[in-house]
Structure 1
């Protein structure tokens, strides 16, 4: 099979342990695009959270963002596809964490909305590595829930950062049965997306847009929120640092994110060098 598109997860995949894109990975991405291949992000991040990487990735045209809720043309700044959570669902999610010590992060209209006072305390929610990015790119508000009800804009995704895995499990149980997608991320985060909306859903939307068969796509990832896109793509590639679940369903494995595994995936499987 000749592959035409590669979807790259960001955290733990395209980004190394320091949240940087290495020169080797940038070079491989540029070479793939120069050879007529499509390279897309495949991330749980909001559009706003790409800010520091946009210049480095200026050759990249497409992005599957917000765990598939937003598919975006980066060069034209145009939405290809967007799906939002039903307002009744949003209300039930908010009710489930009311009075709990949970960092409620909203992704709305491509914005990354966070409680300003809690950003410096993100270590408590096992998200400390993201503090510098959140300080730079977030729409900072006093209370995210209150902000949403006043803002009245659609929400594509809700991230609930907990202090312990057990607290996350308790929230999951409260939300069980709702027509939503729930995925564990990081150590204690629970991602809430519209039912049926996953990175794999976003990949299908992008392939339709490009008039391409899904079997011509490659997905590269490392974590549970990559499982659906790995199952959906024509070729599933797990990073060397991928968790057991991702490694189990992958077709092949490459080096880890600190040793240019993404570059290996591009050269070996997309460009077939």
Structure 2
């Protein structure tokens, strides 16, 4: 049996294939790992509510490092293990910048997903059309996203742009604020409180489970997985991962359309 006790999977581009599904072979491998007393953990930028489409496939998983590490959750006991929120003063600065640009604002709050009604029908403009059905099903739709953000505790803000250049401009404007940033999708800027990362989330969860971080595996494909891959005991890149990820990982498995996650479980966790 492998020395590794825990495996953390990114979702989009990793656990999910290009059709945003989890293959039957991968589900079987996940459950086999859990049956062998291994911790199978999600490491995702998504909020809890955005996992509802995968409730059946992931029914045996107990823990999630969600919202890029800002929200760590015990699914079985419906318990928040750890939560980081962005200070209101900083939120106001972010919103002020977003207001003067063509940006779609997406808020993650207490495990929920919140967007503006006006943005739902033009998600393709912000290169997020593949997620439209998910937002339609699970997001809280509000009339005024700015007002909502100022009245609720926010763990994470996603700013969706029309182009990568526009995202770069926003990042350059915000980068000196005490925040953590991650580039996701093609034009998304993900924002959490300072020092909030998937890596920090993994450390918090390992401490909670009394597990040595050297005995963990992280699997990912994109730049927002870099920190957790560098932190875990074994870094696994998907075959579809970008070059930055492949360069720093210990091993590379098949891509997300050919059960790379199943391969990671069978070859390294079990």
TM-score calculated relative to the size of structure 2: 0.98
Structure 2 stretches of 5 or more lacking a match?
A: none
Partners of 1:142 and 1:22 lie apart in 2 by 37
The number of residue pairs the alignment matches comes to 269
Q: CA deviation at 1:117?
A: 2.1
Asked if 1 retains the 8 angstrom alpha-carbon contact of 2:91 and 2:149, the reply is no
Q: CA deviation at 1:146?
A: 1.5
Q: CA deviation at 1:96?
A: 1.1
Partners of 1:117 and 1:178 lie apart in 2 by 28
- The aligned residue for residue 42 of structure 1 is 43
Partners of 2:61 and 2:225 lie apart in 1 by 20
* Aligned residue runs from structure 1 range 52-91, under 5 A: 52-91=53-92
Local SS of the residue matching 2:236: strand
Matched, 1:165 2:150: no
Q: CA deviation at 1:69?
A: 0.4
Partners of 1:236 and 1:88 lie apart in 2 by 36
Partners of 1:145 and 1:24 lie apart in 2 by 43
- The aligned residue for residue 13 of structure 2 is 12
List 4+ stretches of structure 1 deviating above 6 A. Answer: none
1:177-218: CA deviation from partner (whole Å, max 9, x where unpaired): 111011111010001111111000110011001001110100
Asked if 2 retains the 8 angstrom alpha-carbon contact of 1:25 and 1:263, the reply is yes
Partners of 2:148 and 2:152 lie apart in 1 by 10
- The aligned residue for residue 99 of structure 1 is 100
Q: CA deviation at 1:153?
A: 2.2
Local SS of the residue matching 1:215: helix
Q: CA deviation at 1:10?
A: 0.3
Local SS of the residue matching 2:99: coil
Partners of 1:215 and 1:83 lie apart in 2 by 25
Partners of 2:135 and 2:105 lie apart in 1 by 13
TM-score calculated relative to the size of structure 1: 0.97
Q: CA deviation at 1:115?
A: 1.0
Partners of 1:168 and 1:74 lie apart in 2 by 33
- The aligned residue for residue 33 of structure 2 is 32
- The aligned residue for residue 249 of structure 1 is 248
CA RMSD in angstroms, aligned pairs only:
0.9
Local SS of the residue matching 1:81: strand
Matched, 1:153 2:162: no
Q: CA deviation at 1:148?
A: 2.1
1:1-24: CA deviation from partner (whole Å, max 9, x where unpaired): 710000000000000000001001
- The aligned residue for residue 187 of structure 2 is 188
Partners of 1:189 and 1:110 lie apart in 2 by 19
Partners of 1:86 and 1:98 lie apart in 2 by 18
* Aligned residue runs from structure 1 range 101-140, under 5 A: 101-140=102-141
Q: CA deviation at 1:88?
A: 1.1
Matched, 1:143 2:113: no
Local SS of the residue matching 2:122: helix
1:140-168: CA deviation from partner (whole Å, max 9, x where unpaired): 0112111222xx22110000000011111
